[in-house]
Amino acid sequence: SSDKKSMDINNAAAIYVRRSSKQDKEQSTSIARQRRLCTEAAERLGLTVVQEYNEGEGKSVSHLHSVERPQWDTAMEDAGSVYGTLILEKVDRADRKGAASIGKLLDHAEASGVRVVTCNGQDSSSEAGRLMMVIEGEQARAEIAKAGERIREAKQERRASGSILGGSVPYGHRLVRFVDKPSVIELDEEECKVIRFIVQMYLDGASFNGVAAACRERGVKTRKGGQINQQWIARILGGP
């Protein structure tokens, strides 16, 4: 009855897995590895895994960026009714928003009669374990903040030196590569002539279609050899 249900819930565990980036090639953060470690942790604790909440890849959760996580939302709703222990590979699989966010998770778990454990030995059922989880949550937030600052500084340096920051090179420019220093973007005079022609026609009152037709008459092609159309003209006039 109710005692049996309580006993079953206490022995029931759920695991939650997610991977921040699809482009992350590190196997240390793979879904398969997280699943294996969480399953092994359940076995050590004498628990039976009854549910896996798999958020998949490309689910970055930090104070800088967040996405919808339907699996996480379901896991929180199921706390105390489907499982009695939630297993995470590390605290940062919950999120990387910092101490306050992890504190809310632990409060919700406690109110639901659930404990949260991690594969590195943290357990929210003890005050010491709870404290360590909050600290690790803040450390995860700090790591994201530091990484973001390093990226911004690197971009500023590359921008100051004229280096390309990534993406396609804007029309009117070309990428110059060097062996011993970073690539830089320079003006492409031939493409600049086309841009000046387009701008002048537009200022003289020509429509996008009219400018495109004039470009085709002059034999102008896109970089990939395609025909010039009004959409391409609009991008050129609206570009940097």
Q: What is the pLDDT of residue 25?
A: 45
Long-range (24+ apart) CB contacts under 8 A made by 208-215 are: 208/233, 208/234, 208/237
Q: What is the pLDDT of residue 105?
A: 94
Instruction: Give the C-alpha separation, 16 to 165, whole Å.
Output: 36
In contact, 237 and 199? CB cutoff 8 Å: yes
Q: What is the spatial order of strands in the sheet that 48-57 belongs to? A: 48-57, 12-19, 85-88, 115-118
- What does pTM read for this prediction? 0.60
Instruction: Give the C-alpha separation, 221 to 26, whole Å.
Output: 42
Structure tokens belonging to residue 221:
């092609």
pLDDT, tens digit only, all 240 positions of the chain: 444 455 488 899 999 999 876 544 444 578 999 999 999 999 999 999 999 999 988 777 766 666 789 999 999 999 999 999 999 999 999 988 888 889 999 999 999 999 999 999 999 999 999 999 999 989 888 887 777 677 667 666 655 665 555 567 888 888 888 878 777 778 889 999 999 999 888 888 888 999 999 999 999 999 889 999 999 998 888 754
- Using alpha carbons, select from 103, 96, 100 the residue that is nearest to residue 140: 96
Instruction: Give the C-alpha separation, 152 to 95, whole Å.
Output: 22
Instruction: Give the C-alpha separation, 131 to 126, whole Å.
Output: 9
